[in-house]
Amino acid sequence: MSGPVGRLAGKAVLVTGAGQGVGRGIALALAKEGAAVGLAGRTVAKCAAVAEEIGAVGGSAIPIACDVTVRADVEAAVAAVVGAYGGLDAVVNNAATSLQRPVAELTDTDVDDCWRSNALGTLYGMQAALPHLRARGGGVVVNFGSSTAIDGDALFGGYAMAKEAVRGLSRVAAREWGRYGIRVNVVVPNALSPAAEEFRDAHPERFAQMAARLSLRRVGDPEADIGRAVVALVGDDLAYLTADTLMLTGGHR
């Protein structure tokens, strides 16, 4: 396994939703610390572009077509990483779908879309990764929550249901899998996703007001702020942290 020499040299990691935004930032941060990265996403061309970025800095990555709502796709993505790199040390279940609609207007389809891409997609990734993490003698699962769910932001009812389910699932898995040396944690990010960039460009004043409400007065960078924290979770820096939620929100309040 080749790549930059870093804290994660020799490790293989699967990142879902890796073709853009937070997933791309996480993948770049992991690769720059030496991890070999499987880049899974519904639009494989975007993942291929990120793989090229990683290759340009001397890292190793493979693009993988994957819809996390389809269990077979997730299992195939895990198998692709294991086949390419000889094992799996961590899975980062980042891929997600969100929508905004008042609770009174939520449909079964709305809830199902959020549930399948968030809660079920995360479950599929965890289950597919488990035997390979155990084979390594331990490993790391990084799942994703949302401040919209924790705070109960209006219009995010369907999304909040799914994201809080992810946090509950993660706590249970951490307790069940700790005996195998597997750590399971949740990251709650506030970063410049493609949707956040669109909002910034369309409503610069409102975006500036939103950023000003953060303690650090800025929206996070996907690689430097979120990706570097995931590097710490995947590596040894946070080796005693499990069953917990890491709030990377810049002091959101």
How wide is the angle at C-alpha 27 spanned by C-alphas 60 and 42, nearest 5°? 100
At 98, the pLDDT band (50, 70, 90 cuts) reads very high
Spell out the domain ranges in the chain: 12-191+227-248
Please tell me the least confidently modeled range out of 151-155, 182-186, 191-195, 212-216: 191-195
**For the chain, what percent of residues have pLDDT higher than 70?**
98
Mean pLDDT of 181-188: 98
Please tell me the least confidently modeled range out of 71-80, 120-129, 188-197: 188-197
At 1, the pLDDT band (50, 70, 90 cuts) reads very low
- Statement: residue 2 has pLDDT above 60: no
* Residue 195: per-residue pLDDT: 83
Which residue in the list 85, 124, 159, 180 is annotated as catalytic?
Answer: 159
Mean pLDDT of 50-77: 98
* Residue 4: per-residue pLDDT: 76
* Inter-CA distances, 120 with 39, 68, 113, 116, 168, Å: 19, 8, 10, 5, 13
pLDDT digits (tens, 9 = 90+) for 218-231: 999 999 999 999 99
- Statement: residue 27 has pLDDT above 90: yes
- Statement: residue 3 has pLDDT above 60: no
- Statement: residue 32 has pLDDT above 80: yes
Phi, psi for residue 186 in degrees, rounded to 5: -120, 135
Entry pTM: 0.96
SS3 per-residue string spanning 128-164? HHHHHHHHCCCEEEEEECCHHHHHCCCCEHHHHHHHH
12-191+227-248 belongs to CATH 3.30.565.10: no
Residue among 145, 122, 154 nearest 15 (CA): 122
- Measured between alpha carbons, how far is 182 from 141 in angstroms, rounded to an integer? 7
Mean pLDDT of 59-64: 98
DSSP state of 252: -
The distance in angstroms from the start CA to the end CA of the chain is 43
* Residue 5: per-residue pLDDT: 80
Mean pLDDT of 84-100: 97
- Measured between alpha carbons, how far is 41 from 171 in angstroms, rounded to an integer? 26
Contact 23, 41 (CB under 8 A): yes
At 52, the pLDDT band (50, 70, 90 cuts) reads very high
Active site annotation includes 159: yes
- Measured between alpha carbons, how far is 215 from 232 in angstroms, rounded to an integer? 22
